[in-house]
Amino acid sequence: MSSKMPYKVLCVCLGNICRSPTAEVVLRHYCDENRLNVLVDSAGTSNYHPNKAPDERSQKHALKRGFDLSRLRARQLTINDFLEFDLILAMDHQNFDDIQQLMKKAMHQYEPHCIKAKIALMSEHDTQYPQQALPDPYYGEADGFERVLDQCESSSLAWVNVFQQQSNTNY
């Protein structure tokens, strides 16, 4: 195990009960599998479901692929996250804009050098879903939850490729 500080990534959607918890667990799985020194967390731009476990449907579909979401609890994105995390991954374009708005507030409250975080789309480097939104499955059917998993797997592998090029993420 490296003594280096981990590279810290935060996955962000609206509610932090469907897309971003799925992204958190899938991205962590591929980072760990590739022995990357990356720490992954998730949050929501809203505070609709504070401290709630992920949506039962997200949990059920994820578990069928071997991903256990049961221990996660929802929380809202905070200004402090811009100081703590290196990379904030937005699940869709509205999330991206909302994250950027909060980052502007963070920049007013803190010196510019304190703000570590870069913002990107989850699908930024994904050639299968290039810069595409991760569609919100909350009001939809089972296929939406499967689509979230498909896209999280594909986009996570694309990020692993990017992290492998960054020497500070390797053990």
The residue from 11, 13, 18, 152 that is catalytic is 13
Contacts of 144 (CB under 8 A, 6+ apart): 135, 136, 137
- Which residue lies nearer to ligand 4NP by CB, 43 or 87? 43
Question: Per CB under 6 A, does 18 bind ligand 4NP?
Answer: yes
Q: Which is nearer to ligand 4NP, 37 or 59 (CB)?
A: 59
Please, is 167 exposed, middle or buried when counting C-beta atoms within 10 Å of its C-beta (0-12, 13-18, 19+)?
A: exposed
Q: Which of 9, 11, 16, 67 binds ligand 4NP (CB under 6 A)?
A: 16
Question: Restricting to residues 70-109, which ones interact with ligand 4NP according to CB under 6 A?
Answer: none
Catalytic residue list contains 13: yes
The beta strand positions in the chain, using DSSP E, are 7-13, 38-44, 87-90, 118-121
3-state secondary structure of 87: strand
Nearer to ligand 4NP, 54 or 126 (CB): 54
Instruction: Locate 134 and state its tokens.
Output: 């991760």
The answer to the question of residue 133 lying near ligand 4NP (CB under 6 A) is: no
DSSP string, 34-62: TTB-EEEEEEESS-SSTTPPPPHHHHHHH
Is 57 known to be catalytic?
no
Residue numbers of the site for ligand 4NP (CB under 6 A)?
13-19, 48, 136, 138
Residues labelled catalytic:
13, 19, 136
